[in-house]
Amino acid sequence: MELISRENPARITEIVGRVPATGADGVDAAVRRAGRAQREWAARPIGDRIAVLRQAGETVTGRAGELAGLLARESGKPLADCRGEISFALTYLRWVCDHAPRVLAPAEIDDAAGRLVVRRAPYGVVACLTPWNAPVILAMVKLAPALAAGNTVVLKPSPLAPLAVGEVAAALPGVEVVHGGAPAGRALVTHPLIRKVAFTGGDRAGREIAAAAGAMLTPSVMELGGNDPALFLPDFALTDDDYERLVMASFATSGQVCMAAKRLYVPRARLAEFTEAYRAAAERVLVVGDPLAAGVTMGPVISAPAADRVRGLVAGSVARGGTAVPLGRAHGDLESGYFVTPTLVTGLDDDAPLVAEEQFGPAVPLLPYDTEEEALARANAGELGLAASVWSADEDRAFALATRLEAGFVFVNTHNRTGMSLRAPFGGVKRSGYGREYGEEGLLEYVQSAVAHAPAAFRGGGDGMPATAYPA
């Protein structure tokens, strides 16, 4: 049996765990098991399904500390962040349990026009393919609504972080887990019994998965990358706490977050002031080191190729005239893993790869602007449109600009996870994907409308209509 080994990116000589690679036959067997279970699961009243999900959440809660440690070791995220991720995943599961019975309830109209019943019917078996950067929550935002709606799920986590999410998935009803890279994903997405695909990840993999699903006429949800701008209007008024929150909006999870603040646009007249305050905040809150060490707020990146890519972006920026400003403090030995110094880069034009591309790592460009319209045009440049933020002392002014940004989610006076809300649908525009997670829209992604209709003309006492007639 082929095994997938997962190393600790902070101590690369340590193997955290291994999972069996799933071949095409194994994927087929998992999908068929999920298909057999789905009919029985969907036939249960939604109240029963919710009760089972709540109990599963309690089971995971009882293991939260253990799972957080496992997640920290396999992903390189600080232990406190891993505790937060698991807690947030469970909070979202409870939110789904609280809201699904109302959102997914059938609607019935019985009036002079006839009787109409619209049910929220599950798709069947859902394929969920999830990344390594927040594996538990990015799986839960698919698993919880899919299961509540009466689907079953085959989950394929990233081979770079398969361990903790596999343990969480094992506690949930109706979930099969398969492991592997692109071949396993392709076998899963193209399986004829898969009725919906949900994917979070990069643009290249997203295109391949969407194409494969499209060839099967399988609908999909795609939450892809972003190159998120943060726009600071001339009246911005940031406290020390605001600057600290802003720093972490770029460097949490070592910058490996799709909705991280990846481009900072600041009025030229306030650039020096902003730079000094930002560097001071980073010195206070950015501590780079082993994720299990107390006080560490940033660990390594996920792999050697990721580290090489980010270092290459910074070196390329310097080669074209930019200035690299190291940020934060080091804690302990940083030679044992894939550590990259968090860096603010100044002096770049908009064509620099660090500006024009999603860096997905601990390096962020600081970009001055002269007019608000100029900043808006530069922020909207490019094919990605996941998230953005506007910072202003005037909330109405910020909201007015937010409506003009080409992004699926615009934060106001914050950015990244501190700006999220369980009730707010999240997803991208342009090449950042389609479909939504969170909010009622996130629940409705996993059902399709199924209608029963008796027109008044054909009910008792109705007048009927000619066979060639159109409805009135």
Q: Which residues are catalytic?
A: 223, 258
Phi, psi (deg, nearest 5) at residue 297: -115, -10
Alpha-carbon span 289 to 298, nearest angstrom: 7
Contact between residue 233 and residue 397 where contact means Cβ atoms under 8 Å apart: yes
Both tokens of 290, joined, read 């082993």
Contacts 24+ apart (CB under 8 A), 25-33: 26/178, 27/154, 27/178, 27/184, 27/187, 27/188, 27/191, 28/187, 28/191, 30/154, 30/176, 30/177, 30/178, 31/125, 31/127, 31/154, 31/176, 31/188, 31/191, 31/193, 31/194, 32/193, 33/176
Given a contact cutoff of 8 angstroms between Cβ atoms, the answer to whether 246 and 281 are in contact is yes
Residue in the block written with tokens 């232990």:
79
Dist. CA 294–CA 209, nearest whole Å = 40
Give the burial class of 387: count Cβ atoms within 10 A of its Cβ; 0-12 exposed, 13-18 middle, 19 or more buried.
buried
Of 332, 344, 327, residue with least CA distance to 282: 327
Q: Confirm if 417 and 87 have CB atoms less than 8 A apart.
A: no
